[in-house]
A = this chain, B = another copy of it.
């Protein structure tokens, strides 16, 4: 199986397959006499594993660990669960950050006329930092930002 076929079958681009090989995430592929990389079913399974992990937002470092656990028959499921749990926390934290931004923006936007006049609470807030963040709702947004 060529790299192109492996890419199509796994959903990982050829470019990324080479990249993953170069950083040691996957083993070096076999080669034909002409230097073409060759892939078997086991390689395909690994590539698909990686793609699904990426789809769930795992970093390459986390995938490295997950792959190691996957290939370790004496693994403890607790180790896998711990990685997943940490990842859930990261994702949740990011979501909360985004949520705060969205809340603030929606609040500011709702008070912007959105017409031809230059008056704009969004710009005022960006310029002065003292838009009316706490005037109407006791929103917890933007209270403890970094």
Contacts and interface: CB of A to CB of B under 8 A. Distances in A.
Interface of A: 45, 48-49, 52-53, 55-57, 66, 69-70, 72-78, 80-82, 84-85, 87-88, 91-92, 94-95, 98-99, 101-102, 104-106, 108-109, 112-120, 122-123, 125-127, 129, 142, 145
Given A76-B118, A85-B109, 13 more contacts: A48-B129, A55-B142, A56-B126, A70-B123, A76-B117, A77-B119, A80-B122, A81-B109, A81-B122, A82-B114, A84-B112, A91-B102, A95-B99
A98 B80 CA distance: 20
Task: Report the copy number of this chain in the oligomer.
Answer: 2
Contacts of A95: 95, 98-99, 102
